Amino acid sequence: MKNTLRVVLYYILAMALVVLVWAGASWLLQAFRGREILPTPWVTLSAAGQNIAVLVSAFGTSALRFLIALVVAFLLGLPLGLAVGFESKLDRYLSPLIYLLYPMPPVALLLFLYLAFGLGEVVRLVVVVMALFFQVVVAAQGAAKYIVPSHVTAVRSAGATRRQIYRHVVLPATLPNVLTAARVSVGLGITMLYIAETKLGVLLGPGAGLGRFIEYYTFRGDISLAGVVGLALLGLLFYVILELLERVLCRWKFVGARGGT
């Protein structure tokens, strides 16, 4: 409990620091260029307050979209990654394919994605799912390759089926690494979400996601910047969710580390 309070305190301090640096940057830019370039935190805050209903709607839409994309990417990527990492035959055949596709940014294929999925909600989800999917696959594959052989032997010796080996060894052994990788890829995912929402939502109102909100108010720096803050908070939200998930699902990882961090 005390630890949680300390973590929260650090986050508050970090936010205060960001606000301070931000205020300093706007003041410096104003001083050297002679006009307002970067709106100050309080101007942004008041712009956010004036447009709070739209901003909340945009935040909610983006959060839901990201959540769905994350869940879908996990449901598709985790089984594939674990199987490829654990079954050496699959590894041999599928790894080259994965590594060929992995570095390819889905945004580069936007034209084809439009044509394939239309201009609706689906294509926005597809872009984010594609980006997260490969992250999950590669993380799961890497973790599944280094499963301790004696764990598998112990379970096989008890007469476990393949399915039981996955459930009792492969999945729990790799979960901490997979969740860490997911946390790392939140940043990439948010970037993709932003691109998907700006490039693929030209006809929509500002409530249709934070990307669209920022784009919609391009010429109102203060409101637009409030949307950027929203994106940062969205990333933080998912980061915290994944961290809590790891603490709950991988409780065993944290018992040995008592008094450590």
Partner 1 sequence: MIEVDGLTLIYGRGGAAVPAVAGLSMVVDSYELVAVVGPSGCGKTTLLLALDGLLRPTAGQIRIHGEEVRGVRRDVALILQDAGLLPWKTVRQNAEFSLRIQGRKESAGGVLSDLGLAGFERRFPSDLSEGMKRRVGIARALALQPRVMLMDEPMANLDSLTRERTQDLILGLWWEMGFTGVLVTHDMEEAVFLGKRIFVLSARPARVVEVIENPGMGEPDYRGTPEFAAQVAHLRQVLGGNGP
CA distance 229 to 239: 15
Output the smallest distance, CB 78 to partner 1, in A.
Answer: 16
Minimum CB distance to partner 1 smaller for 23 or for 160: 160
CA distance 117 to 149: 43
Q: Is 155 in the site for partner 1 (CB under 8 A)?
A: yes
Q: Is 153 in the site for partner 1 (CB under 8 A)?
A: yes
Minimum CB distance to partner 1 smaller for 69 or for 82: 82
Question: Exposed, middle or buried by CB within 10 Å (0-12, 13-18, 19+), for 138?
Answer: buried
Contact (CB, 8 A) for 58 and 209: yes
Q: Quick one: which of 38, 54, 173, 179 contacts partner 1 (CB under 8 A)?
A: 173
Q: Quick one: which of 45, 95, 117, 151 contacts partner 1 (CB under 8 A)?
A: 151
Contact (CB, 8 A) for 121 and 72: no
**What is the CA angle 211-213-218, rounded to 5?**
95
Output the smallest distance, CB 17 to partner 1, in A.
Answer: 36
Q: 224-243 mask for partner 1 (x: CB under 8 A)?
A: --------------------
- Judged by CB under 8 A, the number of residues near partner 1 is 19
CA distance 175 to 71: 15
Output the smallest distance, CB 180 to partner 1, in A.
Answer: 15
Q: Quick one: which of 100, 158, 203, 248 contacts partner 1 (CB under 8 A)?
A: 158
What are the tokens at 14? 């970090």
Could you tell me how many residues make up the chain? 261
Binding residues for partner 1, per CB under 8 A? 150-151, 153-160, 164, 168-169, 172-173, 250, 252, 255-256
